[in-house]
């Protein structure tokens, strides 16, 4: 059986033109997806049943036992942390927020170690963004800043920018210029018309220099700024001002470096400056396929996009205090629920040392690095493969992922709903 127009649940591009061939309950071939998406669709070695850590060994348990254990551990905790949420669908995220409120926990998603700083900047100065379709059809200049789509979002270039047709561009490949700004000469830099190499940590200075040039103050710029020559900065500023429609896509090269959200704020303000001359937009290259959805769901349910603390009975948000890395490093939480992410692979070691000391429950289809710190892991269906649900593309467009095969695994939403029901039952008693 061939499933057409399946949605790829890997990165924020959420490509919706994938063809998946299924035979005897297994994915045997994938067409149109990139290497990252293909590998995810073809993924094997799933965990077969829930497991419980029993001293120095692992014991198989039933779903009922696992759900009961998870609900009870989280209920008993004084300050439970509910973390992850980017690798699951919106419906499961909703249950997560309700659960966090019920047990007065902290709910945070992976954006706190990804584009959280971008959101902080957007809260300060707004987000002049647009959908990917607008960029594809109109943009004659695309800037990738601190992002390397060839490795992280492989089809972004072919679907929307470098190699895409554009409705309002006669010959998109010739007429659309691509500028890459990075500290490394990445694969993406190799296919750019102009590559600007910045000294690590110099993004803020280069953004400020470009703003000054766009404001007509090129004569104030020193000979080089963070390793970039004045001539190149002026050339890039002119390319931007002479474009009919420009789009900036930035990645973690801006959010994870020195300056963090201030870099993004400066980039957004550069875009506002450019919009006085021409049309310009800016958007984040979101990583996980539904990390944007997690911010959306949290925001419409609590008012805040991540790092939400319900310990006061109301939603409280203070990044740096109510975000997962900080809570773990301060050894503050006394139980953790991990859904759709793998903090043990992506958090600093100090956080893991605390995960080892507290009860941890994880919902994930595969054994991963966090499994080692779990008391219970509950295998679930993979959204977009054997579960369906809503995900938000990197430009904020909600897309319903499809189920390409059926398995006996419960979805994240089903497991969380059972845990939530159990918690309500206990609390009513």
Report 128-167 residues binding other proteins (CB under 8 A): 148, 150-152, 154
Q: Is the Cβ of residue 215 or residue 258 nearer to other proteins in the bound state? A: 258
* 312 touching other proteins, by CB under 8 A: no
Q: What is the DSSP letter of 288?
A: B
* 298 touching other proteins, by CB under 8 A: no
* 186 touching other proteins, by CB under 8 A: yes
Among 12, 90, 96, 117, binds other proteins (CB under 8 A): 117
Main-chain phi, psi angles of 228, to 5 degrees: -105, 135
In angstroms, give the least distance from the CB of 74 to other proteins. 20
* 183 touching other proteins, by CB under 8 A: yes
* 49 touching other proteins, by CB under 8 A: no
Among 185, 217, 244, 276, binds other proteins (CB under 8 A): 185
Among 324, 336, 339, 380, binds other proteins (CB under 8 A): 324
The Cα–Cα gap between 41 and 39 comes to 6
In angstroms, give the least distance from the CB of 73 to other proteins. 17
* 261 touching other proteins, by CB under 8 A: yes
* 50 touching other proteins, by CB under 8 A: no
**Number of neighbouring beta carbons within 10 Å of residue 382:** 27
- In order of 67, 71, 115, 208, 342, the CA distances from 62 in angstroms are 9, 14, 37, 58, 23
In angstroms, give the least distance from the CB of 20 to other proteins. 16
Closest CA to 63 of 45, 74, 49: 49
In angstroms, give the least distance from the CB of 358 to other proteins. 11
In angstroms, give the least distance from the CB of 344 to other proteins. 6
Q: CB-side exposure of 312: number of CA atoms within 13 Å?
A: 7
Q: What is the DSSP letter of 385?
A: T
Q: Is the Cβ of residue 126 or residue 320 nearer to other proteins in the bound state? A: 320
Among 320, 425, 426, 427, binds other proteins (CB under 8 A): 320
Beta bridge partners of 360: 336
Q: Is the Cβ of residue 266 or residue 281 nearer to other proteins in the bound state? A: 266
Residues in contact with other proteins, shown as a per-residue x/- string from 205 to 234 under the rule CB under 8 A: ------------------------------
Residue 383, both tokens? 């959204």
User: What's the alpha-carbon Rg for the chain, to the nearest Å?
Assistant: 23
* 372 touching other proteins, by CB under 8 A: yes
Element (H, E) at 187: helix 187-190
Is residue 89 within 8 A of residue 387, CB to CB? The reply is yes
* Alpha-carbon dihedral sign for residues 199, 202, 207, 210: negative
Q: Which stretch binds other proteins (CB under 8 A): 35-43, 65-73, 90-98, 229-237?
A: 35-43
* 266 touching other proteins, by CB under 8 A: no
Closest CA to 37 of 2, 4, 9: 9
Q: Is the Cβ of residue 90 or residue 146 nearer to other proteins in the bound state? A: 146
- In order of 311, 382, 410, the CA distances from 414 in angstroms are 25, 12, 6
- In order of 113, 255, 342, the CA distances from 373 in angstroms are 20, 28, 11
Among 368, 383, 390, 411, binds other proteins (CB under 8 A): 368
* Alpha-carbon dihedral sign for residues 28, 405, 96, 424: negative
* 380 touching other proteins, by CB under 8 A: no
Q: Is the Cβ of residue 168 or residue 195 nearer to other proteins in the bound state? A: 195
Residue 27, both tokens? 């994915």
**Number of neighbouring beta carbons within 10 Å of residue 49:** 13
In angstroms, give the least distance from the CB of 229 to other proteins. 16
* 356 touching other proteins, by CB under 8 A: yes
Q: Which stretch binds other proteins (CB under 8 A): 135-143, 184-192, 211-219, 229-237?
A: 184-192
Q: Which stretch binds other proteins (CB under 8 A): 165-173, 240-248, 293-301, 315-323?
A: 315-323
Residue 155, both tokens? 């089809």
In angstroms, give the least distance from the CB of 198 to other proteins. 10
The Cα–Cα gap between 87 and 11 comes to 10
């Amino acid at each position: 059986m061939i499933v057409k127009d399946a949605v790829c649940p890997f990165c924020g591009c959420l490509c919706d033109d994938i063809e998946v061939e299924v035979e005897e309950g297994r994915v045997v071939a994938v067409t149109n997806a990139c290497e990252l998406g293909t590998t995810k669709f073809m993924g094997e070695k799933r965990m077969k049943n829930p497991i419980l850590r029993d001293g120095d060994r692992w014991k198989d348990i039933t779903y009922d036992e696992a759900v009961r254990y998870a609900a009870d551990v989280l209920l008993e905790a004084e300050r439970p942390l509910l973390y992850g949420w980017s690798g699951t669908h919106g419906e499961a995220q909703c249950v997560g927020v309700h659960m966090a409120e019920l047990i007065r926990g902290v709910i945070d998603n992976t954006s706190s170690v990804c584009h959280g700083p971008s959101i902080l900047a957007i809260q300060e100065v707004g987000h002049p963004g647009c959908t990917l379709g607008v960029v594809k059809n109109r943009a004659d200049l695309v800037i990738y800043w601190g992002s390397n789509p060839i490795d992280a979002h492989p089809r972004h270039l072919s679907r929307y920018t470098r190699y895409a047709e554009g409705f309002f561009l006669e010959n998109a490949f010739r007429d659309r210029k691509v500028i890459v700004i990075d500290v490394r000469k990445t694969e993406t830099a190799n296919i750019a018309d102009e590559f600007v190499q910045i000294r690590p940590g110099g993004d803020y200075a280069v953004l400020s220099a470009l703003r000054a040039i766009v404001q007509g103050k090129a004569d104030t710029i020193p000979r080089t700024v963070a390793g970039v020559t004045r001539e190149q900065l002026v050339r890039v500023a002119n390319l931007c001002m002479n474009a009919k429609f420009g789009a900036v896509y930035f990645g973690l090269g801006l959010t994870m470096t020195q300056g963090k959200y201030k870099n993004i704020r400066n980039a957004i303000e550069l875009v506002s400056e450019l919009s006085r001359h021409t049309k310009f937009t800016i958007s984040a290259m979101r990583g996980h396929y539904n990390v944007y959805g997690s911010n959306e769901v949290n925001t419409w349910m609590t008012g805040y996009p991540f790092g939400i603390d319900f310990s006061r009975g109301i939603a409280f948000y203070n990044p740096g205090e109510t975000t997962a890395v900080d809570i773990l490093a301060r050894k503050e939480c006394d139980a953790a629920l991990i859904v759709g992410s793998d903090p043990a692979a992506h958090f600093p070691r100090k956080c893991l040392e605390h995960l080892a000391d507290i009860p941890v429950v994880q919902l994930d289809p595969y054994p991963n690095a966090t499994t080692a710190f779990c008391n219970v892991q509950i295998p679930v269906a993979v959204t977009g493969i054997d579960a369906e649900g809503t995900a938000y593309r990197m430009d904020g467009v909600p897309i319903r992922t499809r189920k390409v095969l059926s398995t006996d695994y419960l979805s994240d939403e089903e497991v969380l709903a059972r845990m939530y029901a159990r918690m309500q039952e206990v609390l009513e008693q």
